[in-house]
Amino acid sequence: MDDNVHISSLVAQVKPQSIDTIKAQCSAREGVEIPAVDPVGKLVVLLELPSQRHIVDFIDWLQEREGVISVSMVYHHVESRLALEQEVQGT
């Protein structure tokens, strides 16, 4: 088992009338969060998934949804699960 976590952010451009449907479909998936939505049709999608393959599969899945115009990856980072679980010490 890969002990890394892949963290990515995406911007999805969707038809304004599809925002609620796409947001609900994305939010129903494990490791997916929609922290920001612009009413003109832009969604910020945060992913915390176990592998790069999972990230690519999600992007492919999202691009196939009716109402999605485009999906762009903005950020991708890999971190060990152990490092993410460590408490951050204040300075």
More confident residue, 89 or 63: 63
**Amino acid letter, 25:** Q
Q: What is the mean pLDDT of residues 36-49?
A: 97
65 pLDDT more than 90? yes
- Residue in this structure with the two tokens 């490791």, named with its chain if needed: 31
pLDDT for position 1: 46
CATH code reported for the domain at 4-85: 3.30.70.920
Give the model's pLDDT for residue 86.
66
**pLDDT of 3:** 86
Cα separation of 73 and 91, whole Å? 33
Mean pLDDT throughout 19-46?
A: 97
Per-residue pLDDT, averaged over 62-85, amounts to 89
Domain regions of the chain by residue span: 4-85
